[in-house]
Amino acid sequence: MKVLLPITLLSLALLLSCGEARVVRFQTGELALTAEGPLFEGSNTLTATYTPALEAFLKAQGASLADLQEARLVRASLSAADDSTLALINQVTLSMVADQAEMQELAVLNPLPQGVKAIELGIAQDQKTVADFLRQASCTFVADANLLRDLNANLTLTGTFEFDLTLQ
C-alpha cells in the first residue's frame, strides 16, 4: 500500500501533464514605430515599446503564463500614412528585445516594393526566445530601415504583429 500510493500519484501527474497542446493567435494591435529625425541615408532604427496584455489574454483562453510553452511570430505588417514614406526605404529588418532577453531578429523584407502603403515582412524560421519577450512586463520592437536619402523629419511606421502561442 505504501508503494502503491506514490506510483499512483506519479502516474496521475504524468497523465495530466501529457495533455494535448493547443495553439492560439495573439495580436498586438497597431504600434507606432518611430525614429526621430533628422535621419540620414543608410540604416536608421525605429522603435516601439510594447506592454503585452498576455496574462489577461491567456486568462480569457482558460490558461496562464505557466501554460505558455512556445510563441512564434507568424505575421509582421508595416504601413505608412502614404506611399511616399515607404518609397524612402529599401529594406527593413524587424527584431525584438527586452530587459531579460537578448535581441532576436524575427523578420525581414529586402527589397521593399515601390508604390505601396503597407508591406508584409518575411518571417524568420529560428525563433527560440519569442515567448521570453512576451512574458515580460514590456518589450521593444526594433525596425532597422535602410533609407535611400536623408530625411529632416521623424519617420513613423505602424506595425501590427501576430503570434501563435502554444499552450499546454
pLDDT tens track for 101-148 = 899 999 999 999 988 999 999 999 999 889 999 999 999 999 999 999
| CB atoms closer than 10 angstroms to residue 142 | 19
Radius of gyration of the chain (CA): 21
The mean pLDDT value for 60-89 works out to 94
Which one is predicted more confidently, 48 or 15?
48
Tell me which amino acid residue 153 is. A
Distances (CA, A) of 52 to 35, 36, 128, 153, 161: 22, 24, 18, 29, 12
Query: To 5 degrees, how large is the angle CA 109–CA 111–CA 117?
Result: 75
Percent of the chain at pLDDT > 70 equals 89
The mean pLDDT value for 152-159 works out to 97
Alpha helix stretches (DSSP H) within 18-67: 54-60
**Global pTM value:** 0.85
- The per-residue pLDDT for 16 is 45
The three grid cell numbers given for residue 166, joined into one nine-digit string = 502554444
Question: Quick check: 10 pLDDT over 90?
Answer: no
Question: Quick check: 4 pLDDT over 50?
Answer: no
Q: Could you give all domains of the chain from N- to C-terminal order, each with its CATH number?
A: 21-167 (2.60.120)
Please provide the average confidence, as pLDDT, over all residues in the chain.
90
> pLDDT tens digits, residue range 90-99?
999 999 999 9
CA end-to-end span of the chain: 32
- The per-residue pLDDT for 11 is 43
- The per-residue pLDDT for 91 is 97
- The per-residue pLDDT for 88 is 95
- The per-residue pLDDT for 18 is 53
Question: Quick check: 5 pLDDT over 50?
Answer: no
